[in-house]
């Protein structure tokens, strides 16, 4: 932002604000410390320093508030940044400071998806007086605002202006990748008719995007021609060589026909419909960006035996099968057929393993594991476990205990509560009544209503009043609600990145897909990103074991049993609003490898990790076969997904 200008002003003009030189020098160590923290990328601690400086009742309060808000935005705490910005009196700011205030307001507007207001603020700014860091923030915000407003070409024009302010070669490559991804959402026709006649930088980018979209099968020759037309273009560098290799690899890794096995009736039909929406949103984006050339075929898993459906899909040319969703169907499929085509299931059964089976879903194993990671890396060891009195609660307790003990933790006491009760005081009292080791943390599994009642009891009971509380993702509806979650202050929880709009952004982020989930019950919300990742994993499976994929449902990796593990993002409630922290394993806590122990577990209807509803005649999504068929069925499928043989 405008930190350098503001810090220079603080140092150079003490008498302008009527401040004594002694007071000025008194604050210098803190000012220098804050700047050093910012240089290290530690925005959170820098914000605390500036907040402390802003608490002093001097004429420089507004300057420190600007710097504090700036650092808070950098730390992802937009809510707190807005509070600081709202305390600033604009009439007491210099022209550059007022410019800075507008930039902060624009960034805050963008965080809530208000592109129109952000654009209005940004267009009213004077860019020339800004320092380089502030110019970077300005053009970056302007690009994001245009993108959010559905103006990709204007977004790219702003991104091009960022070039001079990016020094790091890796970041520059990511920046160029962002430009191409933005342009490749346009059709080849639009890229052609909107391309400037002059051979300038924008013209070169649009020509390159059109080349990539329309010449997939003769790409090397087409790119050679582009290089001759634009010899001095910034993309005509090592970036394009790397991009071409990556692009060609992804093309080869994609199956040409994908079968998706989902129910169109029955108790899981509504869940399947939501997953399908997320899946198609990801597919349609990939299609616009010329990253999708597969035929998608949907099969109703309620129409016949699941084994017969699998044989039918493979017989019709499927090179990858996604689904089934129901655990019973998954167990029947693996037990009833020798898989000849890889399967990416949308649920998980412990102990079930096959070299051609990749298990992916919103498993409670991940929730329990990630909370264990987070609490242990934060230094806690002796846990009190508070869980609902149910079969699912028992499973969560087993999962958590297993991972907690692997990490060297101890379970001091485990207490159940009845979710139907309104008063949880007795359960909390029993939780703290134990004669074992001294507990240092409470782990809670609860839905929002129960969590908002349980946490106050934990705060008021003597045995648990001073203990930090960590919880699984169930306590969060997926959308901030300060009034509902006011009693959860201080609770740390881990959830999928997609529910945090500042963690998982872009065209498949939560705000971008709002139309898909706005009318959904909270229990269905996370099924949208499950569908998004189900499609995006198609081209990632072959390299997922060595490279994590930053997905909507987590940082995804492939385990030894071919289960796709999800690392979740953690947050802490502050005045009813989730304050972003970090990925659960970001600090690199070492976990010793423990081989998976196969178990003879029979899947049951109650074991499903999906919302279950009774439906009479669920509405169906449009069939995509007529719309998205892009290539003929191959005579001999060539699968590039290599199974892991144990």
**Mean of pLDDT values over 599-620:** 36
In tens, the pLDDT along 469-494 reads 999 999 999 998 888 999 999 999 99
Q: How confident is the model at residue 19 (pLDDT cuts 50, 70, 90)?
A: very low
Q: Which regions of the chain carry the CATH code 1.25.40.10?
A: 3-150
**Mean of pLDDT values over 511-525:** 89
Q: What is the pLDDT of residue 100?
A: 86
In tens, the pLDDT along 291-336 reads 777 889 999 999 999 999 999 999 999 999 999 999 999 999 998 8
In tens, the pLDDT along 353-365 reads 888 899 999 999 9
Q: Is the dihedral of CA 180, 186, 192, 197 positive or negative?
A: negative
Closest listed residue to residue 552, CA positions, set 540, 570, 567, 572: 567
- How many Å is the maximal CA-CA distance in the chain? 84
* Cis, bond preceding 324 (omega within 30 deg of 0): yes
Structure tokens belonging to residue 517: 């989930």
Closest listed residue to residue 580, CA positions, set 492, 510, 512, 489: 492
Q: What is the pLDDT of residue 435?
A: 66
Q: What is the pLDDT of residue 602?
A: 36
Q: What is the pLDDT of residue 342?
A: 92
Q: 573 Cβ partners below 8 Å, 6+ apart?
A: 485, 488, 489, 490, 491, 493, 579
How high does pLDDT run on average in the chain?
81
Q: What is the pLDDT of residue 393?
A: 93
Q: How confident is the model at residue 411 (pLDDT cuts 50, 70, 90)?
A: very high
In tens, the pLDDT along 216-271 reads 667 788 888 999 999 999 999 989 888 887 776 666 667 889 999 999 999 999 99
Check if the beta carbon of residue 357 is closer than 8 Å to that of residue 339. yes
Q: What is the pLDDT of residue 354?
A: 87
Q: How confident is the model at residue 189 (pLDDT cuts 50, 70, 90)?
A: confident
In tens, the pLDDT along 531-551 reads 999 999 988 887 888 789 999
**Mean of pLDDT values over 513-521:** 89
Q: What is the pLDDT of residue 98?
A: 87
Residue scoring higher pLDDT (49 or 7): 49
In tens, the pLDDT along 370-410 reads 999 999 998 999 999 999 999 999 999 999 999 999 999 99
Closest listed residue to residue 506, CA positions, set 289, 212, 277: 289
- Weakest-pLDDT range from 4-8, 509-513, 583-587: 4-8
Residue 571 has pLDDT above 90, yes or no: yes
Q: Which regions of the chain carry the CATH code 3.40.50.2300?
A: 364-495+562-595
Structural fold of domain 3-150: 1.25.40
Q: What is the pLDDT of residue 641?
A: 31
Angle at 21 between CA 18 and CA 26, to 5 degrees: 115
Q: Find the helix or strand (DSSP H, E) in which 581 lies.
A: strand 577-583
Residue scoring higher pLDDT (79 or 388): 388
Q: What is the pLDDT of residue 587?
A: 56
pTM beyond 0.75 = no
In whole angstroms, give the CA distance from residue 361 to residue 534.
9
pLDDT above 70: percentage of residues in the chain:
84
**Mean of pLDDT values over 275-279:** 96
In whole angstroms, give the CA distance from residue 452 to residue 446.
9
Residue 3 has pLDDT above 60, yes or no: no
Cα–chain-centroid distance for residue 206? 29
Closest listed residue to residue 120, CA positions, set 143, 145, 98: 145
Q: What is the pLDDT of residue 601?
A: 33
Structural fold of domain 364-495+562-595: Rossmann fold (3.40.50)
**Mean of pLDDT values over 578-595:** 62
């Amino acid at each position: 932002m405008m930190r350098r200008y503001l810090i220079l002003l603080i140092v150079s003009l003490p008498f302008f604000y009527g401040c004594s030189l002694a007071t000025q020098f008194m604050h210098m160590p803190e000012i220098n410390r804050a700047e050093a923290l910012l240089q290290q990328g530690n925005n959170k601690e820098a914000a605390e320093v500036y907040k402390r400086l802003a608490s002093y009742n001097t004429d420089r309060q507004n300057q420190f508030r600007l710097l504090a808000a700036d650092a808070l935005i950098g730390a992802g705490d937009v809510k707190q940044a807005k509070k600081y910005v709202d305390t600033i009196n604009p009439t007491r700011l210099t022209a550059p400071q007022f410019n800075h205030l507008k930039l902060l307001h624009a960034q805050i507007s963008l965080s809530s998806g208000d592109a129109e207001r952000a654009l209005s603020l940004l267009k009213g700014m004077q860019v020339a007086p800004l320092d380089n860091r502030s110019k970077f923030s300005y053009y970056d915000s302007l690009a994001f605002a245009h993108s959010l407003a559905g103006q990709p070409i204007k977004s790219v024009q702003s991104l091009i202006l960022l070039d001079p302010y990016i020094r790091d070669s890796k970041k520059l490559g990511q920046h160029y990748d962002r430009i191409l991804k933005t342009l490749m959402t346009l059709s080849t026709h639009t890229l052609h008719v909107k391309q400037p006649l002059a051979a300038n930088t924008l013209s070169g980018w649009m020509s390159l995007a059109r080349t990539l979209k329309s010449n997939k099968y003769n790409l090397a020759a087409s790119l050679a021609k582009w290089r001759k037309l634009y010899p001095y273009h910034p993309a005509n560098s090592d970036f394009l060589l790397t991009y071409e290799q990556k692009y060609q690899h992804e093309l080869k890794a994609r199956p040409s026909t994908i079968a998706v096995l989902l129910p169109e009736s029955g108790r899981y039909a509504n869940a399947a419909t939501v997953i399908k929406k997320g899946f198609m949103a990801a597919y349609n984006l990939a299609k616009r960006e010329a990253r999708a050339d597969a035929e998608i075929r949907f099969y109703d898993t309620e129409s016949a035996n699941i084994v017969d459906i699998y044989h039918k899909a493979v017989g019709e040319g499927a090179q990858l099968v996604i689904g089934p969703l129901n655990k019973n169907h998954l167990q029947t499929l693996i037990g009833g057929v020798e898989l000849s085509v890889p399967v990416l299931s949308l649920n998980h059964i412990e102990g079930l393993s096959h070299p051609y089976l990749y298990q992916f879903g919103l498993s409670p194993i991940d929730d329990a594991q990630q909370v264990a990671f987070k609490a242990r890396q934060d230094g806690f060891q002796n846990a009190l476990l508070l869980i609902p009195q149910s079969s699912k609660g028992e499973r969560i307790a087993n999962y958590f205990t297993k991972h907690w003990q692997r990490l060297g933790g101890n379970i001091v006491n485990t207490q159940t509560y009845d979710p139907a009760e309104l008063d949880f005081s007795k359960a909390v009292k029993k939780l703290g009544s134990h004669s074992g080791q001294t507990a240092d943390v409470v782990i809670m599994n609860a839905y929002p209503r129960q969590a908002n009642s349980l946490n106050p009891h934990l705060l008021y009971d003597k045995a648990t009043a001073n203990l930090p509380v960590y919880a699984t993702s169930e306590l969060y509806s997926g959308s901030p609600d300060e009034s509902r979650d006011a009693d959860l202050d201080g609770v740390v929880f881990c959830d999928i990145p997609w529910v945090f709009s500042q963690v998982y952004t872009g065209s498949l982020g939560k705000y971008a897909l709002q139309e898909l989930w706005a009318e959904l019950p909270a229990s269905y919300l996370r099924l949208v990103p499950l569908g998004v990742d189900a499609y995006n994993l198609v081209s990632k499976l072959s390299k997922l074991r060595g490279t994590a994929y930053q997905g909507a449902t987590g940082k995804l990796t492939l385990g030894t049993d071919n289960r796709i593990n999800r690392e979740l993002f953690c947050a802490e409630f502050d005045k009813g609003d989730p304050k972003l922290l970090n990925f659960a394993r970001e600090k690199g806590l070492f976990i010793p490898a423990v081989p998976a122990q196969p178990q003879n577990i029979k899947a049951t209807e109650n074991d499903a990790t999906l919302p279950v509803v009774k439906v009479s005649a669920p509405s169906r999504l449009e069939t995509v076969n007529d719309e998205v068929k892009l290539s003929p069925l191959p005579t001999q499928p060539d699968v590039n997904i290599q199974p892991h043989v144990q």
